[in-house]
Homo-oligomer: A and B are copies of this chain.
Amino acid sequence: MSIAAVERDCGLPKDTLRVWERRYGFPNPLRDRHDERLYPADQVATLRLLRRLVDAGHRPGKVVGRSDEELSGLLRRLDVSTPQAIGSEAQQVLTLLAAYDAVRLREVLNAIVLRAGLGAFAATIGPGLAGAVGAAWSRGELEIHQEHLFTEQFTSVLRSAINAAQGAGAPRGRPRVLFGTFPQEPHALGLLMAEAMFTLEGCIGISLGVQTPIPEIAAAARAHGADILALSFSSTFPAPQAMTGLAELRALAPETVEIWAGGACPGLRPKAGCLVFRELSAIAPAVGAWRARVAEPASEAHP
């Protein structure tokens, strides 16, 4: 496996792979006849473990070079310290994934939405399911393609529900909400769940999709006459970059636009002109508060 392939597969940049090798003696790839690195499959697997640990906050110097057993031990400890009681729904989902039963998986997800409602699904159950699947993957109980499969079905079900919710009921219009992620953030699931929450509150929601450059987000906010910019940050997003990006966005976007950030990114903190949401369930009351806030000054007209 070439260094470029490992970069794609493990998400570790080439420069990092080379500098780890120089500093810690691992990875220790073979060389082909032209002195290019060839990574054996087992080292790639170890690198994947390392990636998880580093994302979780371990320092490379402390973990790179240790044996697979030790690393797995550390990962297990992380998993149990994340006290994620696996509900019966999650258990069912994992079973279906293990059996590769995509059709039934979608039926089950649709059934959960119908029974619990879109709000509870997006705010509580969905994140729980996604967390359980991610944890199972990190324990090696699922293959990547099974995680892909879950993401696909989940996205599909959620999108349909949002579409339906948008048609039903009289939308109240304001606030107009724009959804997006920063360029380093390719995960769409969190964004989609937030979109569901806003849609349920009768907001007009417009998604820019993932990985939109910050100046573009600001330009879009201006062009759409948006009231709120909703940004999503997954747990692997580098916190300092999130804060820098938010400051940049705050400077570029119109002053009247509010910036609401959310997601599992650990270092995400409120900042001047930016609200931070730890829970998706906090969106509904916040929208209510926004409406009360802009209605009161009576200075804003409906364009």
Contact = CB atoms under 8 A, between A and B. Distances in A.
Number of copies: 2
Nearest to A167: B110
Contacts of A219: 143, 145
A279 interface: no
A216 interface: yes
Nearest to A184: B8
A43 interface: no
Given A8-B183, A217-B145, A152 B208 contact: yes
Contact of A209 (B151, B160, B180, B224): B151
Interface residues on A, range: 35 or more
A216 B143 contact: yes
A176 to B, nearest CB: 10
Contacts of A224: 100, 102
Contacts of A103: 204, 206
Contact of A216 (B144, B151, B160, B212): B144
A89 interface: no
Interface of A: 5, 8-9, 100, 102-103, 143-146, 148-149, 151-152, 155-156, 159-160, 162-163, 180, 183-184, 204, 206-209, 211-213, 216-217, 219-220, 223-224
